[in-house]
Amino acid sequence: MKSFRRPPKEFFEVLTKLSKLKVVGADLVEICPSCDYSDMTSLLGAKIVRELIVGVFLNILELLTFLSISPQPHNSHFNKLYLARCNLENDEIPAFDSRRNG
């Protein structure tokens, strides 16, 4: 089986598009830290897992909102996961929109 062999940026674009399909579960396979001498693959794997967790959480939160079930308070771990996904390098935190249009 061939590896993905695409730039990470391209993979994250695909991951973002997949999250709009209301995915509520995912797996990450083929990360072997003992064979990754520069830790590059392990760090990329950790970023992918973070994006998967946040994407799945946002889809579940959207479902709860649709079902009119109150989400957790603002200081919850779930809210922190959302903030972790934000691009803090630009000092910009996007507004949360549970409808996530397009």
The Cα diameter of the chain in Å comes to 48
Say which residues have a Cβ less than 8 Å from residue 90's Cβ, sequence separation at least 6: none
* 3 occurs within a structural domain: no
* 72 occurs within a structural domain: yes
Q: Which residue has the higher pLDDT, 6 or 48?
A: 48
* 62 occurs within a structural domain: yes
Whether 28 and 45 have beta carbons less than 8 Å apart is answered as yes
* 12 occurs within a structural domain: yes
* 58 occurs within a structural domain: yes
* 54 occurs within a structural domain: yes
Residue-wise pLDDT for 18-58, tens only, equals: 777 777 777 777 777 788 778 888 888 888 888 888 887 88
How far, in Å, CA of 48 to CA of 11, rounded?
A: 9
* 77 occurs within a structural domain: yes
Please give the model's pTM, rounded to 2 decimal places.
0.52
How far, in Å, CA of 33 to CA of 40, rounded?
A: 9
Residue 73 has pLDDT above 60, yes or no: no
Q: In the chain, how many domains are there? A: 1
Q: Which domain holds residue 15?
A: 8-21+33-90
* 49 occurs within a structural domain: yes
Q: What is the mean pLDDT of the segment spanning 50-76?
A: 72
